């Protein structure tokens, strides 16, 4: 299985999009070689705007540009886009329903060496709480590309979350529709609802458990909001044991979004796998993921514990 970071796919998709849609503009805050918007900057220099290290201003410039008929893709690290500029996103983008795509990279603890200050683990919680915000976390590079293309055709504010670390790319092609979860693997004993690179970890965990005679379903919930409630209900009812997996705090992210759907409606065992209310830290990305219990074998163990 080949590997590619979703941020790299984002950068490539922007270049592709630039050739299709001349209304697309890209803003960055001095991180274009990390967010990978540098490819677009090179291909379409007149439609690329560096805001400098000033994320609040960047988000509001994007808001203003969106009112001029442009489709701004606004990029920085997740910690700055959702964190530093939170209130700008809330009041100047989401409140007036402006057509801005906030595309953040370096989300989660897989940032690695830069450490806890740069590892956003609460961005999904922040963005999900904003009325009318669409929140998407692509599972792999292919899905990242499709999500970027779909975002350009979608009218309204959207948050797209990409990772720094290269992660497996699924060989099988599958459709991407905003708000429609993808069932990656069917099963009967447990279901894992996952997003981002945890989808791939869930697939590996399901394979490991299959060897033990357990049938585990994996649902790729790439759209955290609006969540695909019918799909979540269907698979929770079918499997009985529910596990959520995300590279994010267990507070306010995918796990809570799934719990909100199930609470009071389905009787099931429920377990949230994610960052357990602590900050991230420096280390090699894969070591950090292991420290926080986000590897496939650790996820398999978490699933096992629900049987």
Partner 1 sequence: MQTAELKEICKAVRRDIINMTANAGSGHPGGSLSAVELMVSIFFNHMRVDPKNPRDPDRDRFVLSKGHAAPCYYGVLAELGFIDREEFKNFRQLHSILQGHPDAKKVPGIDASTGSLGQGLSIAVGMALGAKTQGKDINVFAIVGDGECQEGQIWEASMAAAHYKLDNLTVVFDNNGLQIDGSNNEVMSLGDFAGKLRAFGYEVIELPDGHDLDAIEAALSRKVEGKPKAILAHTVKGKGVSFMENQVGWHGKAPNEEQRAQALKELEG
Q: Which residues are designated catalytic?
A: 55
- Residue number with CB closer to partner 1 (44 or 193): 44
Taking the CB of residue 50, how many other CB atoms lie within 10 A of it? 16
Residue 64: CB minimum distance to partner 1, A: 2
- Residue number with CB closer to partner 1 (66 or 200): 66
Residues 227, 74, 153, CA angle at the centre, nearest 5°? 55
Q: Strand, helix or coil at 207?
A: helix
Residue 113: CB minimum distance to partner 1, A: 29
- Residue number with CB closer to partner 1 (71 or 158): 71
Q: In what order do the strands lie in the sheet with 241-249?
A: 182-185, 216-220, 190-194, 241-249, 269-275
- Residue number with CB closer to partner 1 (51 or 144): 51
**Integer Cα distance of 173 and 155 in angstroms:** 26
- Residue number with CB closer to partner 1 (46 or 211): 46
Residue 136: CB minimum distance to partner 1, A: 23
- Residue number with CB closer to partner 1 (46 or 175): 46
Residue 18: CB minimum distance to partner 1, A: 13
Residue 119: CB minimum distance to partner 1, A: 25
DSSP-H helix ranges across 154-251: 198-210, 229-239
Q: Strand, helix or coil at 17?
A: helix
**Integer Cα distance of 292 and 198 in angstroms:** 12
Query: Helix axis angle, 254-262 relative to 229-239, nearest 10°?
Result: 80
Q: Residues interacting with partner 1, by CB under 8 A? A: 25, 46-47, 49, 51-52, 54, 56-57, 59-70, 72, 87-88, 91-92, 95-97
Q: Strand, helix or coil at 191?
A: strand
**Integer Cα distance of 201 and 130 in angstroms:** 29
The residues near 11 (Cβ < 8 Å, ≥ 6 apart) are 35, 36, 37, 38, 39, 40
Residue 123: CB minimum distance to partner 1, A: 20
**Integer Cα distance of 176 and 178 in angstroms:** 7
DSSP-H helix ranges across the chain: 6-20, 32-35, 38-43, 55-66, 78, 86-88, 123-128, 141-153, 198-210, 229-239, 254-262, 285-291, 296-304
């Amino acid at each position: 299985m080949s590997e590619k970071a979703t941020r790299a796919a984002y950068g490539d998709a922007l270049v592709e999009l630039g050739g299709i849609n001349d209304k697309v503009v890209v803003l960055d805050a001095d991180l274009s070689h990390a967010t990978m918007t540098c490819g677009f900057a090179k291909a379409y220099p007149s439609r690329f705007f560096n805001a400098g290290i000033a994320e609040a201003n960047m988000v509001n410039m994007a808001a203003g540009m969106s009112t001029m008929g442009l489709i701004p893709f606004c990029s920085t690290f997740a910690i700055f886009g959702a964190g530093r500029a939170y209130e700008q996103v809330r009041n100047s983008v989401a409140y007036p329903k402006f057509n801005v795509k906030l595309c953040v990279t370096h989300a989660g603890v897989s940032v690695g060496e830069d450490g806890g200050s740069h590892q956003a683990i609460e961005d999904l919680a922040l963005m999900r709480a904003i009325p009318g915000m669409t929140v998407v976390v692509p599972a792999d590079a292919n899905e990242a590309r499709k999500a970027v293309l779909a975002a350009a055709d979608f009218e309204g504010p959207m948050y797209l979350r990409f990772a720094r670390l290269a992660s497996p790319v699924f060989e099988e092609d599958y459709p991407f529709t905003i708000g429609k979860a993808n069932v990656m693997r069917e099963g009967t004993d447990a279901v894992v609802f996952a997003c981002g690179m945890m989808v791939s970890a869930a697939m590996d965990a399901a394979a490991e458990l299959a060897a033990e005679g357990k049938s585990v379903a994996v649902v790729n919930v790439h759209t955290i909001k609006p969540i695909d409630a019918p799909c979540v209900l269907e698979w929770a009812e079918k499997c009985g044991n529910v596990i959520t997996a995300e590279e994010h705090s267990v507070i306010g992210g995918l796990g809570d979004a799934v719990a909100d759907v199930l609470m009071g409606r389905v009787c099931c065992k429920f377990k949230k796998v994610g960052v357990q209310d602590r900050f991230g830290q420096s280390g090699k990305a894969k070591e950090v993921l292991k420290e926080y219990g986000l590897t496939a074998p650790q996820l398999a163990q978490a699933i096992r514990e629900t049987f």
